[in-house]
Amino acid sequence: MSTMTQSITDEAVTTRLAMRMEDSLQAFAVRAACFIGELDMPYSEEFDGHDFSATHVIAYVGDEPVGTVRVRWFQSFAMPERLAVIQRFRGHNIGQMLLERCRKLAEGRGSNMLYVQALPGDVKYWEKQGWRRLVSEEASSGAKRIVAMVKAVDPSKPLPDVEAPEAIVLGHESQLDATGLPRGTASN
């Protein structure tokens, strides 16, 4: 199923969930262009085993894949990650469309909170999209590189209380080893 909210040079802008391997390859191509090509991210950091369990959303202008985001699912939140729009297609709020698709998806799956880990330089972008810091800037200790940000899935409802924000921050999420298991896990 795809959704359309606008058009660019008379071409429809749509979003679609990756259902087939070819769709996933389109998402990976967009991410490779943005993160590896444009932002100098190493390949080993950009792609990981979570790609096989995440839901990938792709934005198209006409038939051209131009943006993507992946969502990972946790008990108390849904986590959009790897949001990217090909440089020449920016300025049309395609990122916002992708995030709205994530929100609707989370709503449909009964999640009530969205959570992202933003780089400090991107915090303003997320704030513009209605996200807020999970821990206030003043309360954040040290010079942590990652900023945890949240948004209610239902904008008419307040954010669920997070009694121990640090409990949901995944800053120390274990890295996967070459077999796809968290590092340190006994394998057979």
Nearest to 128 by CA among 93, 179, 169: 93
Q: Select 64 or 177, whichever has its Cβ closest to ligand COA.
A: 64
Please tell me the chain's helix, strand, coil percentages from 3-state DSSP, rounded to the nearest 5.
30, 30, 40
At closest approach, how far in Å is the CB of 186 from ligand COA? 35
Nearest to 115 by CA among 99, 94, 128: 99
DSSP E strand stretches across 64-181: 64-73, 78-85, 113-118, 132-133, 147-152
At closest approach, how far in Å is the CB of 19 from ligand COA? 22
Residues 141-170 that bind ligand COA (CB under 6 A): none
* Contact pattern from residue 30 through residue 69 relative to ligand COA, giving x for each residue in contact according to CB under 6 A and a dash for the rest: ----x-----------------------------------
Check if the beta carbon of residue 83 is closer than 8 Å to that of residue 131. Answer: no
Q: Select 77 or 126, whichever has its Cβ closest to ligand COA.
A: 126
Asked if 124 is part of the footprint of ligand COA (rule: CB under 6 A), the reply reads yes
142 SS3 class: coil
| Position among 27, 78, 84, 114 found at the interface with ligand COA (CB under 6 A) | 84
The residues of the shown chain that bind ligand COA, judged by CB under 6 A, are 34, 83-85, 90-96, 121-122, 124-125, 128
